[in-house]
Amino acid sequence: MKKYELTDEIKYSNDRELRRIRAILDFGEVKIGTLGGWIESEKNLSQDNGAWVYDNAQVFGHAEVFGHAQVYGNARVFGNAQVFDHAWVHGDAKVSGNAKVSGGAKVSGNAKVSGNAQVYGNAWIFGDAQVSDN
Residue 82's pLDDT is 98
Q: Look up the pTM and report it.
A: 0.96
Which residue, 56, 60, 61, 70, is CA-closest to 102?
70
* Domain extent at residue 51: 4-133
Residue 1's pLDDT is 87
Residue 27's pLDDT is 95
pLDDT(13) > 90: yes
- 94-130 confidence digits (pLDDT tens): 999 999 999 999 999 999 999 999 999 999 999 999 9
Gap between the Cα atoms of 18 and 56, Å rounded: 11
Residue 29's pLDDT is 93
Gap between the Cα atoms of 2 and 86, Å rounded: 20
Residue 86's pLDDT is 98
Gap between the Cα atoms of 6 and 129, Å rounded: 33
- 41-72 confidence digits (pLDDT tens): 999 999 999 999 999 999 999 999 999 999 99
Number of domains the chain contains? 1
Residue 114: CATH number of its domain: 2.160.10
Ramachandran quadrant class, 109 (left: phi over 0; alpha: psi -120 to 50; beta: rest) = left
Residue 61's pLDDT is 98
